Amino acid sequence: MPLETFATIFEDEDVLVLEKPRGLAVHLGNKPDEITLVDFLLKKYPLIKNVGENPIRPGLVHRLDKEVSGVMVVAKNQQAFVGLKEQFMQRLTQKEYRAIVHGILPQKTGVIKFRIAHSKTRGGKMAARPENCKGKEAWTEYEVLKEKNRRYSELKVTIKTGRTHQIRAHLAAIDHPLVGDSLYFSKKYQNKKEYPRLFLHAYRLSFAHPTHGQKMIFQANTPKEFEVFLSS
């Protein structure tokens, strides 16, 4: 996957805002030979290797799952890293997603506050549990934007926390899993249809610039695959 395929949304001496394509892992995980976003970043910005706290994740203050596309911010120097990381930790950033889920939701808006913990039944999977159970606090809000054939719903999703697989686990927990999600699929919606992708996209990201403090809002338009799926 050539570097030219990445859309640079914004760049200055402190931050890089880009659109990550689906199918590309952000950093190394269980596959040591896998090509990742970090590989491309280091090739174009060698000095990023010294930014951050973990050499496997240079410049990274947040991440997206491999099959999720959309907007990300990367710190280009240590000062920017510290400033951005603090905003993510203090939940001062705003993160908005677009998603397509199975089924028609009974309410057009809602909040999911199940706690998130590692699943005991399957490695790599997270479990969403009631608020009185053990796990990390997680907060997901959704709004129905469109419905298709009484079978699918397009959602605007915003999150106040950034737990691993949070959106995927939360939507599965209310029995409306993401279309194309092979990890959190429900037998209720299982069929022979092949889906072209995991229908989750990081649509908008807002944060204060780590140097001058100006509020910045960046958007990665919803992929064409969403429109095609909803209109077919």
**pLDDT value for 188:** 79
Query: Cβ(38)–Cβ(55) under 8 Å?
Result: no
65 catalytic per annotation: yes
- pLDDT tens, residue by residue, 75-131: 999 999 999 999 999 999 999 999 999 999 999 999 999 999 888 766 668 888 766
> How would residue 138 be classed by pLDDT, with cut points 50, 70 and 90?
very high
What integer best gives the mean pLDDT of the chain? 92
Catalytic entry in 39, 65, 175, 181: 65
Structural domains of the chain sorted by starting position, each given as residue range(s) with its CATH number in brackets: 1-90+205-223 (3.30.2350.10), 93-191 (3.30.2350.10)
Q: What is the pLDDT of residue 77?
A: 98
pLDDT of 133 over the 80 cut: no
pLDDT of residue 202: 99
pLDDT in tens, 1-55: 454 457 899 999 999 999 999 999 999 876 778 899 999 999 999 999 999 999 9
Contacts of 232 (CB under 8 A, 6+ apart): none
Could you give the CA distance from residue 198 to residue 192 in angstroms, rounded to a whole number?
Answer: 16
Structure tokens at 105: 């939701």
Angstrom distance (rounded) from CA 230 to CA 199: 11
Alpha-carbon distance 112 to 200, whole Å?
17
